[in-house]
Amino acid sequence: MQQDTLLQIAKDFGSPIYVYDAHKIESQYQRLTKAFQDVNQLKIHYAAKALTNLSVLKFVAKLGAALDTVSVQEVQLGLRAGFSPDQIIYTPNGVSLKEIETVAELVVQINIDSLDLLEQFGTKHPKTPVCIRINPHVMAGGNTNISVGHIDSKFGISIHQMPLLLRIVENTGMTINGLHMHTGSDILDIDVFLYASEILFETAKKFKDLTFIDFGSGFKVPYKTNDIETNIEELGEKLSHRFQQFCDNYGRELTLAFEPGKFLVSQSGYFLTKVNAIKQTTSTVFAQVDSGFNHLIRPMLYGAQHHIENISNPEGKERFYSVVGYICETDTFANNRRINEISEGDILAFHNAGAYCFMMASNYNSRYRPAEVLWYQGQAHLIRNRETLDDLLHNQVVVEL
């Protein structure tokens, strides 16, 4: 998006504010579907947890996407956004049998990643088709916070537990109609992903009633200039050929599924903040903004780097700043970052703020969560109001003691 457009949005709607470029979401979706255009049956499940605003959900549904959910609430939001039950897959972790049964009653595809829950559900509901999440013990990226395929991960059923898994399926008489894996975020090495895929293909041979195989996602997007990213085109070419080869050997066409979240919406997002003050110490110049990790926690939680622009002074001389927030904690967005000269009142734009940013916001320090805007066809659409004191008080029950 153009800097003057972002500045106008900050002027019209205030700050801090999240802005999403619908056209970028659309281009990412088209890029992914084009990369796998040689697959006869392709299904893209948008990972709702990345950004669940109803307007965004409606937009990705309009593009033709299905939906990946991790909670009964996300399922309900998906249904409210217009997705039909057969377009939704539910992939929870650590939930109760009761929640899984609640979702199953909505006729949504169930994906189970626990032997215990698989046996319980299969015993009570053997006629309900189930997908199984496999842990292939393949590490994506190098960060255990975002890699979920390693041996100590809480996600998935270990590939080494296959004999017990097959025994449960046989004893309950349940139908397994899908297999799923997700190795984690920031996949860089295509060959590692393909290696994990081969494990899934070998596993799939043991099940005769499959209709789809879900390869997860975790595709890396660039977070800074010259940053590396997942080569989707190369992955599409190699995995498409191997998938069709597998289908030929399996005896019928299956659906190849993915569940991208970050890949679709991350680069569409901008987080706009206003500079409250410039504070200089003996060694550091701080740019203090009207936000904190209550609005954008990824830099503090994951060490994530978001490119920061001073869109109020794009031609200014670069200086070194540490960008920090107004929370009564250490809430550093960037340390000693080169940014065009910053003055009080300037608007800073954080890039790649579309995925897992607003979604992880909180009311810590009793601060309000930001507004959200969707940019589409030259118009800024307000899709979430800025919170007020009434929102903070909404669910509180005051007891006179």
Residue numbers annotated as active site? 328
> In this structure, are residues 342 and 310 in contact, taking their beta carbons and an 8 Å threshold?
yes
Could you give the CA distance from residue 308 to residue 322 in angstroms, rounded to a whole number? Answer: 11
Terminal alpha carbon distance of the chain: 54
Could you give the CA distance from residue 341 to residue 21 in angstroms, rounded to a whole number? Answer: 26
Could you give the CA distance from residue 71 to residue 96 in angstroms, rounded to a whole number? Answer: 11
> In this structure, are residues 261 and 46 in contact, taking their beta carbons and an 8 Å threshold?
yes
Residue that is written with structure tokens 């349940």 in the block: 174
> In this structure, are residues 178 and 212 in contact, taking their beta carbons and an 8 Å threshold?
yes
| Residue 170 CB neighbours (<10 A) | 9
> In this structure, are residues 374 and 55 in contact, taking their beta carbons and an 8 Å threshold?
yes
Instruction: Take residue 79 and report the two structure tokens written for it.
Output: 């249904």
E strand map for 129-230: 130-135, 157-158, 176-180, 212-214
Instruction: Take residue 227 and report the two structure tokens written for it.
Output: 């940053």
DSSP string of 146-197, one letter each residue:
TB--STT-SSSEEGGGHHHHHHHHHHHT--EEEEE---BS-B--HHHHHHHH
| Residue 335 CB neighbours (<10 A) | 12
Could you give the CA distance from residue 384 to residue 391 in angstroms, rounded to a whole number? Answer: 13
Could you give the CA distance from residue 155 to residue 161 in angstroms, rounded to a whole number? Answer: 13
Could you give the CA distance from residue 332 to residue 344 in angstroms, rounded to a whole number? Answer: 18
For residue 49, the 8-state DSSP code is: G
Could you give the CA distance from residue 221 to residue 231 in angstroms, rounded to a whole number? Answer: 10
> In this structure, are residues 333 and 292 in contact, taking their beta carbons and an 8 Å threshold?
no
Instruction: Take residue 316 and report the two structure tokens written for it.
Output: 């200014």
Quick one: which H or E segment has residue 48? none
